[in-house]
Amino acid sequence: MSELEQLMAYVDGELDAADRAAFEARMAAEPELAAQVAAHSALADQIGRTYAPALQEEVPLRLRLAAQAANDGGTRRLAPWIAAAASLVIGVLAGQAIQPPPLAVGGAVPARLALAKALDRDLAADPGPVRIGLTFRDARGRYCRTFESAQDRLAGLACRDGARWRLETATAWAAAASQPDYRTAASETPPAVLAAVDAAMAGQALDAAQERAARDQGWRQQ
């Protein structure tokens, strides 16, 4: 082992007890060696601190969805709309107890998220980080809207439940690279979301005038 390798092995806890004791005896006798050990320990601490915050962040929904996509023969099975709401409680929390996940299928979309603001305010043609696709009413009369969020890399369907938007289904999504500023959101809507729309929609999708009117009335059911 070279001098540097021995020093590293000491700092990294790779020496056995005997070698460790021998190395510490040398450190006591050689201040230069002790200084090098201190520098290497400080570097290890610095590197640890640099990347530690990543562990505290909430994990994006799309990654949790990816981990739960059961794989059958290469095709990803996407939970149907109703089942998703009932069973995909995404906040499986071990390892991330710091904050509850802000966005979960079957849960309310927190008002602070850009997604909630877009669902509240945006019309189908509006530009922004979140694009609204279809707006329609479900069998219970709730307004529902499909969306694609470039920054969350997520597409889904949310329905208005009282004062909040409830996330009914969501799937990983990325804007097509060829047309980053796509206009026709519906053509981008992933099949899983379209399937959820088919299952939920009662009657026709709202046209632009109906969409605007519903928005202006705060999405209240008449």
Helix 31-51 to helix 3-11 angle (10° resolution) is 50
Stretch touching another protein by CB under 8 A, among 53-61, 111-119, 136-144, 184-192: 53-61
Torsion from C-alpha of 185, 190, 192, 197, nearest 10 degrees? 10
Residue choice 63, 82, 111, 163 for contact with another protein (CB under 8 A)? 63
User: What are the CA-CA distances from residue 159 to residues 136, 152, 177 (Å)?
Assistant: 9, 18, 29
Q: For residue 21, state whether it binds another protein (rule: CB under 8 A).
A: no
In this structure, are residues 61 and 152 in contact, taking their beta carbons and an 8 Å threshold?
yes
Least distance in angstroms from the C-beta of 190 to another protein: 15
Residue choice 17, 31, 32, 48 for contact with another protein (CB under 8 A)? 48
Q: For residue 96, state whether it binds another protein (rule: CB under 8 A).
A: yes
Q: For residue 131, state whether it binds another protein (rule: CB under 8 A).
A: no
Nearest alpha-carbon partner for 211 in 123, 141, 79, 99: 123
**How would you class 87 by CB atoms within 10 Å of its CB: exposed for 0-12, middle for 13-18, buried for 19 or more?**
exposed
Residue choice 18, 31, 50, 127 for contact with another protein (CB under 8 A)? 50
Residue choice 17, 29, 94, 177 for contact with another protein (CB under 8 A)? 94
Least distance in angstroms from the C-beta of 136 to another protein: 30
Residue labelled with tokens 């969350």 = 152
**How would you class 12 by CB atoms within 10 Å of its CB: exposed for 0-12, middle for 13-18, buried for 19 or more?**
exposed
Least distance in angstroms from the C-beta of 85 to another protein: 16
Q: For residue 71, state whether it binds another protein (rule: CB under 8 A).
A: yes
> What gap in Å lies between CA 81 and CA 205, rounded to an integer?
18
For residue 169, the cross-strand partners are: 157
- Residue placing its CB nearer to another protein in the complex, 181 or 216: 181
Nearest alpha-carbon partner for 119 in 83, 136, 98, 144: 144
Least distance in angstroms from the C-beta of 142 to another protein: 28
Q: For residue 34, state whether it binds another protein (rule: CB under 8 A).
A: no
- Residue placing its CB nearer to another protein in the complex, 51 or 209: 51
What residue ranges bind another protein (CB under 8 A)?
2, 4-5, 8-9, 12, 14, 39-40, 43-44, 46-57, 59-60, 62-64, 66-71, 74, 92, 94-96, 153, 172
